[in-house]
């Protein structure tokens, strides 16, 4: 992404891959991501997950949900997050999570590259 440009993050085509079997907990979820740009070592991109449940270990990240719905549960007993379009979320490095997506979730994320 060049300076002084815009991308249709909510509707851009992303190429999905199956979630690895060791991370898949229910259903047959797929994920896709595309880096949009990097600014001073900070990566900005789009990520999407289809319905299903998967485990993950998070990077330090802030994201905005563009569409869809999901619940994110944390292994450390932090309160679960019910995500919807418009939510802004911060995740901590190393957080062990379980994502349960009920409607394909798309987010724009910002993370240290």
pLDDT in tens, 57-92: 999 999 999 999 999 999 998 999 999 999 999 999
Beta bridge partners of 104: none
pTM to 2 decimal places: 0.94
Judge contact between 24 and 54, C-beta under 8 A: yes
How many angstroms separate the CA atoms of 113 and 68, rounded? 26
Quickly tell me which residue has 């949900």 as its tokens: 65
Question: 34-53 pLDDT, tens per residue?
Answer: 999 999 999 999 999 999 99
pLDDT of 113 higher than 80 = no
How many angstroms separate the CA atoms of 92 and 49, rounded? 19
The pair phi, psi for residue 15, each rounded to 5°, is -95, 115
Closest by Cα among 81, 79, 56 to 69: 81
Judge contact between 72 and 101, C-beta under 8 A: no
């Amino acid at each position: 992404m060049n300076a002084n440009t815009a991308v249709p993050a909510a509707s851009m085509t992303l190429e999905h891959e199956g979630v690895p079997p060791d991370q898949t907990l229910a259903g047959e979820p797929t994920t896709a991501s595309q880096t949009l740009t990097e600014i001073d070592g900070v990566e900005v991109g789009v990520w999407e997950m289809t319905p299903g449940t998967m485990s993950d270990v998070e990077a330090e990240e802030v994201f905005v949900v563009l569409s869809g719905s999901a619940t994110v549960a944390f292994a450390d007993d932090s309160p679960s997050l019910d995500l919807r379009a418009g939510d802004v979320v911060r995740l901590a490095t190393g957080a062990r999570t379980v994502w349960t997506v009920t409607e394909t979730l798309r987010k724009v994320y910002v993370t240290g590259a």
